[in-house]
Amino acid sequence: MAYDGTPVVHQADVTLRPGEVTVLVGPNGSGKSTLLRTMARLQQARSGALTLAEAPADEHTGERAETDALALTAREFSRRVALLTQARPTPTGLTVRDVVEFGRYPYRGRWGKADPGGAAAVDRALALTGTTGLADRGAEHLSGGQLQRVWLAGCLAQETGVLLLDEPTTYLDLRYQVELLDLMRDLADDHGIAVGVVLHDLDQTAAVADRVVLLHDGRIVADGEPAEVLTPDRLTATYGIRIEVDTDPLTGHLRTRAVGRHHSRTAPERLIPSS
């Protein structure tokens, strides 16, 4: 994969599996978003293949036939793969429901043909993202975090088997960051969705991921379960800063801490007034 003839990602091989959350992590410029956009067909790879496994699997072998994703029409591909990009415009003159309904375009056919399941799909997407109460508001009046959830609702309204999310917690406050992570797990666990997501927060990654793909300088340096990938030595070498890893006693998940130059300072002594 390249930009303006300059290679950005090299020999990357990633499989997103139904019912799993796969998180791409790595420093800025490591190729995470480029790789995700290539899986969404927004970026063309110089070589390699992009395939989609068909459902259901063969009842005798358990294997799934594969389809060349690059050979599908845009409408066919959009019924199978949805992408929430980092940057999206702020719609004007449209309600929140209007924006979410854009996610139903793969099902409407030419000339805006009827979409029998559309209204129910939109209602479900609004409910899942906590935006039902905003449905009739003008999208231009929303905060950045609210608009992020509305665009996510549009992706969910597509009802695809693969959901790609590029830094989806951007603009969200702590509550909605946690709720979004929970939603990703629900989509994988309860609906069998294959979720691929780019995150910067390593603690969020450890909390939500079945698999972690760690990139550095356009190459995959590790791919596996969080405990296998998020090790102190590997993270320190990848990010160029000392990173410690331990286990959160409350959740049992891995917990990371980047150690800067000032983290070793001793706390100042308290002055206790004499009586």
The CATH number of the domain holding residue 130 is: 3.40.50.300
Instruction: Find out whether 103 and 185 touch, Cβ atoms under 8 Å.
Output: no
pLDDT number for residue 187: 94
Residue 55 lies in a domain: no
Structural domain of 7:
2-45+74-109+117-258
Q: What is the CA radius of gyration of the chain?
A: 21
Residue 64 lies in a domain: no
pLDDT number for residue 264: 63
pLDDT number for residue 115: 86
Residue 266 lies in a domain: no
Residue 52 lies in a domain: no
Q: Which helix (H) or strand (E) holds 51?
A: strand 51-53
Mean pLDDT per 10-residue section of the chain, whose length is 275 residues: 60 91 95 92 82 71 80 94 88 95 87 81 95 96 91 96 94 91 94 96 96 95 96 96 94 92 68 65
Report the domain count for the chain.
Answer: 1
Q: For residue range 103-135, what is the model confidence (pLDDT) as tens digits?
A: 999 998 666 567 889 999 999 999 999 999 999
pLDDT number for residue 61: 62
Q: How far apart are the C-alpha atoms of 252 and 232, rounded to whole Å?
A: 17
Q: For residue range 58-90, what is the model confidence (pLDDT) as tens digits?
A: 556 666 788 999 999 999 999 999 999 987 888
Residue 57 lies in a domain: no
Residue 37 lies in a domain: yes
Residue 265 lies in a domain: no
Q: How far apart are the C-alpha atoms of 240 and 158, rounded to whole Å?
A: 39
Residue 270 lies in a domain: no
